[in-house]
């Protein structure tokens, strides 16, 4: 089964948020979120010789249409509301090993309200319960305390810290969660 087939019609509901596949109409909001100055420092985009704009367009297309066989992306919506407020994903998904890397982002208007924590919890329950994940890893910059708290509240533990490759002097915190 392809990743696209797995998310078609997917809807996971929590007490305040819903995770579901994003519609084409969410593209502008998604691109705006990926470009937001408060979100951008926390997203690692590799663009090499491709323009940043080209990389963003390609990423938005993959997220909206499920064209990435190594990832599963879902939109975060406030329960009962139509507007996309963020996304959550399993990236670098290795089905044979049952491993993936978590990704999530939320519109800064909604930070500090528990929506990212709930959304990540829904994705983890789905990943471990339905997709057979055995290990997930999440990463954030050392100065991204909000993201670290989202992972800690969902049971991930700090495994290690690594120096950032950009020479900023900051570190990358690596969190993990294992499922028996």
CATH of the domain at 102: 3.40.630.30
Is 155 inside a domain boundary?
no
Is 162 inside a domain boundary?
no
- Neighbouring C-beta atoms of residue 121, cutoff 10 Å: 19
| Dihedral pair phi/psi, residue 83, rounded to 5° | -85, 130
Give the pLDDT score at 160: 96
Is 138 inside a domain boundary?
no
Q: What is the mean pLDDT of residues 81-93?
A: 93
How far, in Å, CA of 144 to CA of 158, rounded?
13
Q: In what order do the strands lie in the sheet with 72-78?
A: 11-13, 17-20, 72-78, 84-94, 99-106, 135-141, 171-178, 157-163
Tell whether the model's pLDDT for residue 167 goes beyond 90.
no
Tell whether the model's pLDDT for residue 148 goes beyond 60.
yes
What's the domain range around 14? 3-133
Is 178 inside a domain boundary?
no
Is 121 inside a domain boundary?
yes
Task: List, in sequence order, the alpha helices (H) in 36-178.
Answer: 52-65, 115-129, 145-153
Number of domains in the chain: 1
Is 84 inside a domain boundary?
yes
Is 157 inside a domain boundary?
no
91-138 residue pLDDT tens: 999 999 999 999 999 999 999 999 999 999 999 999 999 999 999 999
Q: Provide the mean pLDDT of the chain.
A: 85
Is 82 inside a domain boundary?
yes
What's the whole-model pTM score? 0.85
């Amino acid at each position: 089964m392809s990743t696209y087939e797995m998310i078609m019609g997917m809807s996971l509901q929590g007490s305040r948020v819903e995770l579901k596949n994003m519609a084409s109409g969410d593209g502008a909001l998604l691109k705006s979120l990926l470009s937001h100055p408060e979100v951008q420092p926390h997203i690692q985009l590799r663009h090499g010789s491709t323009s940043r704009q080209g990389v963003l367009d390609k990423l938005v297309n993959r997220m909206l249409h499920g064209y990435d066989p190594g990832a599963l992306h879902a939109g975060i919506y406030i329960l009962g509301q139509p507007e996309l407020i963020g996304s959550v994903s399993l990236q670098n998904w290795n089905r044979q090993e049952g491993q993936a890397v978590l990704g999530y982002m939320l519109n800064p208007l909604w930070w500090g309200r528990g929506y990212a924590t709930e959304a990540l919890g829904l994705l983890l329950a789905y990943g471990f319960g339905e997709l057979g994940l055995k290990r997930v890893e999440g990463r954030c910059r050392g100065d991204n305390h909000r993201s670290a708290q989202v992972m800690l509240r969902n049971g991930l533990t700090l495994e290690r810290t690594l120096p950032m490759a950009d020479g900023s002097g900051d570190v990358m915190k690596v969190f993990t969660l294992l499922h028996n």
